[in-house]
Structure formats: structure tokens, C-alpha cells
Amino acid sequence: MSDRRRLLPLLGQAVHGSRSAMTCLYRCGNACDHPVPNESDNPYFTDVVNSGMSRRGVVRASAVGALVLGVGGATGGALLGAAPAAATPPGPDLAALTPNRPRSGNGALTFKPIPPNRLDTFVVPNGYDHSVVIRWGDPVVPGAPEFDVNDQTAAKQSVQFGYNNDYVGILPLHQHNKHALLVVNHEYTNENLMFPGFTTFDAMTLEQIKVAIAAHGMTVIELARVEETGEWVVATKGKRPYNRRLTALETPFAFTGPAAGSDLLKTAADPKGRTAIGTLNNCAGGVTPWGTVLSGEENFNQYFVGGDGVPEAVKPKLARYGISTTTRYPSDSRKWDRVDERFDLAKHPNEANRFGWIVEVDPYDLKGASASTPRWAASSTRART
């Protein structure tokens, strides 16, 4: 019999699967237990991708067949020798990447992987240990103030480590293993755990709301390795030029690909429909072959109010996002419209269309807060400008 102490269930919190009730509440807001908002008969994205890949296969096979027929009907080697050089493939020039962006290794594991984890605990491979590298409110940008839970402001939070993590990536820095870049998603906030004396969203001060918005987004911060132990810690020496926060409060992101400039993305603040402010509810992520990080936004419906005041033709589209179109303030509303009216759909019905994208961030971009051109454009991404 296990000697692990049995935790009593808290009232009103249902258990989902093997996770504790509090894990489901504070890690994702019971997202998997909500009704499915999209009841349309649109095809699943997987079907769209598979269909596209099938069409590419047909086109590729047709091209190969045409080449064979052309060669067979000619006089052999002369045509083969005169074939034009292969076109340069689309995408970024990997060879032009900076020296600070190392090439990937062979990817071989040097440890025995852990089995699938069904426990609400932290599990590491045999021979490894774990420790806290960085916490909510720790300084990110050089010169940022130390965290004070009783004196937190949006300006401070915008240069400090954000709240909660989802995707966590380690990217090598320079041509050795003593420094690296940590890239982290700050998916969402738990205001009742962040602010002493919290009661309701209505009772929050305007500054507290701004702090919560600034705590969303992403962080890029340089790490250093302790030679004696191999432990990774936040680098505290040098200029650390890569360190920066990307927040839901003020960081601009440029729409790229066919969606850029769509009427559905145009707002009063962005009449061209090409630049969104901020990123939020960033969940999964990954690293591209050219060294940028992709991060997927989700569950953005919880940040918007005023769905009952949008034109009737727009309501079905918002309902697909899970946004209430029958009441101004849903029961779980964060009331962000109190500090930024773009979250009021009755005034800006297209603002919700500007979230729920895959965002692309270049951790190696030394320009930091200044404008930079995205390396890659796709139909469903928006990139850090």
C-alpha cells in the first residue's frame, strides 16, 4: 500500500483523468471540459494538409512523367547534358545564418528517456537532477528591477519573466555548449494567485490588469552553464543582448503570407490589417530548421467581451472561437477592456481574428525591440516585427 498522503478533493472541482482537480483548474482552466465551440461542417485541418500533400504528389509525378517522355523522344544524352541547373528552393538561406546560430548536431540521445508520465510530479531521467532556473518576476532585460509582489507594475513586468510556462526551448548560442538561449511561452495568468487580496476581476485595479496582460507572451533570455555541475543558470554577466520580453501589452507582430491585409484583420488601430499588438495564450512551440521559434496561440476567447454587441452576421464566426455572443461579460471574463478597448468586440469586432495564430520569433535577432524582417512567411503565421 502506498504511503503517499491522500489529498481530499476540493468542492466544486471535478477530476479529469489521472490529473488532480487543481492541476486542471490552474494549468488550463479546465479547457478540455468545455463544450466544443465549432459545430460547423468545415473539414479538419489535418484533412486539408493531407489533401494538399496528395495534390503535390500528383503534380510531382506528372512533372517526372513529362521529363521521361521528353527525354525518350529526343536524342538521348545531349538533352540531359543541357538540362538547366536546379532552382534554389524557397525559404531562408541557411548558409547565411549568423555565427551565433549554430548548426544542429546528430540528435543522438545521451540518456535513457523516461516513460510516459501520468503523475502530477516532475520526473527526470536517471542520473539527472532538476532545479529552478528562473521564476515569475525575475529580471530578464539587463537593469530590470527585482520582483516585489506588493509593488508590481506593468512597466516592471514588461522587462521581467512572465507568468506560467508552456513551451520551453533551449537553443545553442555560439559554437560551444557553455551558453544557450532559453525561449519560453507565458501562456496565461492566475490572477487569484498573483495579487495578494484578490477577490474578483471586477475588483482588480487598472494597473493590476495591465500587469496581467504584460505577464502574457514570451521570453528570450541567455543562460550560462556551471562547469562544475553542468547546471544551467541565468547569465548575469556581459551585455546579454538577446534578452527580451514579448508581451500581450505592446509588442508588435507582423502578419505574413496570404492572410496579411485581409479585411477580417483590419481594425481602427490597424486599417491595413498587417500588424497585431501582442501575443497571448501561447501553448505548444518548436524550432524551425533556420533557428526561429514557432509558438501557437490558443484559448484566446477568454480575453474578449462585448460579443453580444457585434453585427448578427459576425456572431456565428465568434461563436466558433468559443466567444459568447449572448452576454457582454461572460462569467470568466478578465475585463481587459477596462484598460484597452480593442478587447471589446462591440467596438472592434475584428480584433479576435488577430489572435489564434502561429507566431514566429527569431531569438537570435540582435535588433531586439527594433523592426526586423521575418525570415519565413506562411499562410497561418504572424512574425515578430
* Average pLDDT score over residue span 372-378: 36
Q: What SS3 class is residue 382?
A: strand
The predicted-structure confidence for 8-20, as pLDDT tens digits, reads as follows: 555 555 555 666 6
Domain count, the chain: 1
Residues of the chain above pLDDT 70, percent: 71
Does 3 reside within a domain?
no
Within-domain flag for 177: yes
**How does pLDDT run across 318-347, given as a tens digit for each residue?**
999 999 999 999 988 999 999 999 999 999
In a domain, 169, yes or no: yes
Helices (H), the chain: 21-28, 45-72, 77-81, 154-157, 191-194, 206-215, 315-320
The b/e string for 227-265 (b: 16+ C-beta within 10 A; e otherwise) is eeeeebebbeeeebebbbbbbbbebbbbbbeebbeeeeb
Q: What share of the chain is helix, strand, coil (3-state, %, to 5)?
A: 25, 15, 60
Closest CA to 276 of 337, 360, 208: 360
**What's the CA angle centered on 138, arms 134 and 140, to 5 degrees?**
90
Question: Is 196 a residue whose pLDDT tops 50?
Answer: yes
Measured CA to CA, the distance from residue 178 to residue 325 in angstroms comes to 52
| DSSP assignment string, 16-75 | -TTS-HHHHHHHHTTGGGSPP---S-PPPHHHHHHHHHHHHHHHHHHHHHHHHHHHHTTT
User: Measured between alpha carbons, how far is 295 from 358 in angstroms, rounded to an integer?
Assistant: 5
Q: Is residue 381 part of a domain?
A: yes
Tell me: the pLDDT tens digits for 251-291?
A: 999 998 888 999 999 999 999 999 999 999 999 999 999 99
Residues in the chain, total: 385
Angle at CA of residue 363, ends 361 and 365, nearest 5°: 95
pLDDT of residue 5: 54
Confidence (pLDDT) at 116: 85
In a domain, 63, yes or no: no
Domain hosting 232: range is: 150-298+356-385
Note every long-range contact of 272-275, with CB atoms under 8 Å and residues 24 or more positions apart, other chains counting: 275/385
Residue type, 158: S
Q: Is 187 a domain residue?
A: yes
Would you state the cell numbers that stand for residue 89, as one nine-digit string? 528552393
Asked if residue 189 belongs to a domain, the reply is yes
Residue-wise pLDDT for 285-320, tens only, equals 999 999 999 999 999 999 999 999 999 999 999 999
**What gap in Å lies between CA 20 and CA 252, rounded to an integer?**
37
